[in-house]
Amino acid sequence: MRWYRFAVLVLLATVLQAGFLSNFTVKPDLLLILLVFFAVYSNTSEAIISSFTIGFAADLIGPAMGPQTISFGLFGTALAYLHQVIAIRKMPYQALVIFATGILAGTMVHLLNLLKSEPGPAEIYSDIFKAALYSGIVGPFLFLPLAWWMRIKTNRFRRNRIMR
Amino acid sequence: MAWKQGTFRTKNRRKSLLDSLSRQMLFTWLMLAGFILILAPQQWTNKFQFAFLRIFRWPLKIGNDISLASSTQQQFTDSSNQTIIQYKNHIANLEQNLEQANQKINQLSGLRNRFPMLKGAKLIPADISTVTIGGTQAELIINRGTDEGLASNQFVIADNSIVGTIAEVSNRIARVKLFTDKSSNIAVQVGKSEVKRVMQGVGNYSAKIIPDIPTTTPVKAGDQVFACKKPGLLDVPMIIGTVTQCKKNDRQPSVWDITVQPACDITKIENVTVIIMNP
């Protein structure tokens, strides 16, 4: 893993999410897309570290610190282990995985926010659904440029060749 | 040969076990860090967020400006309209203030008139560094903090109308939660009626009043909505918005479904004022 490139990418996504995309009503979650990308295209240890880092970045622009670190870390790690069993290479599968991860992580963030007494919006589940759906549609198309930036060869990741 | 292969396998198994253990340890430590972040007091963890906002304030502002320019609903076209809105809001506040004063005169039979609006309060002007008004969050980051006496829940005004309250504050910057934010709840009074209800943000530059005002109560589009008095934070009601839509609730036709929009153009405000009632 090229960690400098990773840091630049995560910072860029965080700034874009908090700046340019913040004023759109329905928007993709760039950090969620990054989470799935690194969980799918990195080895497990790297996926764990990158998931927690991306979660921390999401917390920096969120309402409270902690919920997204835990949620992204947990689901990113689960996804990295799942990828050892089920290959997620085709775009429709990637879209589905982004959507499912978005729903699960979003719900967990909401529940953890409640634990932290952070009031959530009234239509939180509809917002989570919309963001997950949008990310699922946009995400797979960003995987190729992301792989190019990270110098990752996407075709070497197959179910039976995952580095342990 | 067989002995060598056996040693090689054992080494590999050890390496794999160690690797697996280190992954588990890595995961455990990072989860622990996450739980520490969750359980730590928010005033400590906020420092990370504020530091990020301070470091990246320029790219964030540029991104905001670009997106606002592309997505803003152009309701008001020029600055003269904005001045008119300011005066209208000011007049609305004065009228409301006058009405309260008249009521008090009637009640207290000529005892000392209540003080003019915001007399004695400290008003802290602040510039806006970042605006987020789309999606679920509707908030501003302003360049004033606890050093200037700001604290959570203080009311924030712009163009003579309430726009939100202080949500979080650090030494130098503060986060203002606009009343259109989906997690915002503010007690309001609709029009000149005595009806007081909670107004909840719904995003998209608007808020809704909790639908339990019976349709027998006279409310119509164009009515002004005032933030209720809150001891220590707001001593007089102030205009917060205008009713833009008033229709019968779909689920309960006996109550109003009232949509409120800010009394000023939130997308165009460049500075705000924080009210400190008891400096």
ipTM: 0.84
Is B98 in the A-facing interface, judged by CB distances under 8 Å?
Answer: no
Interchain pair A65, B37: CB under 8 A:
yes
Distance CA B266, CA B157 (A): 11
Query: Does A54 score more than 90 pLDDT?
Result: yes
- In terms of CA atoms, which chain B residue is nearest residue A52? B30
Distance CA A42, CA A29 (A): 20
In Å, how far is B151's CA from the nearest CA of chain A? 17
- Under 8 Å between Cβ of A33 and A142: yes
* Cβ-defined contact of B34 to A61 (cutoff 8 Å): no
Put simply, whether B35 touches A (Cβ < 8 Å) is yes
Residue B75 pLDDT? 47
What pLDDT, on the 0 to 100 scale, is given for residue B3?
A: 46
Q: What is the pLDDT of residue B145?
A: 87
Query: B244 CA to chain A: closest CA distance, Å?
Result: 20
Q: What is the pLDDT of residue B4?
A: 46
Does A49 contact B46 at a Cβ distance shorter than 8 Å?
Answer: no
Q: Which of A19, A65, A121 sits opposite B183 (nearest CB)?
A: A121
- Within 8 A of A70 by CB-CB distance, chain B residues are 31, 34-35, 38
Q: Which residue is closest to B12 within chain A, CA to CA?
A: A164
Is the pLDDT reported for residue A101 higher than 90?
A: yes
Structural domains of chain A sorted by starting position, each given as residue range(s) with its CATH number in brackets: 3-150 (1.10.1760)
Q: Which of A54-63, A133-142, B79-88, B165-174 has the lowest mean pLDDT?
A: B79-88
CB contact under 8 A, B59 and A60: no
- The tens place of each residue's pLDDT in chain B, 279 residues long, gives 444 454 445 545 545 554 556 888 889 999 999 999 888 887 788 888 888 888 888 888 888 778 777 665 544 455 667 777 777 777 777 777 777 776 655 554 443 343 456 667 778 888 888 777 766 678 888 888 888 888 888 999 888 888 899 988 888 888 898 888 888 888 888 877 777 888 888 877 788 887 778 888 888 888 888 888 888 888 888 888 888 888 888 777 788 888 888 888 877 787 888 888 877
Gap between the Cα atoms of B84 and B90, Å rounded: 10
Contacts of B239 by beta carbon, 8 Å cutoff, 6+ apart? B89, B92, B93, B96, B160, B161, B162, B224, B225, B226, B227, B263
Q: Which residue has the higher pLDDT, A135 or B125?
A: A135
Give the amino acid at B107: Q
Report the percent of chain A where pLDDT is more than 70. 90
Position with higher pLDDT, B1 vs A68: A68
Nearest CA in chain A to B168: A63
Average pLDDT over all residues of chain A: 86
Which site among A22, A42, A162 would you substitute to test the B interface, given the most B Cβ atoms closer than 10 Å to its Cβ? A22
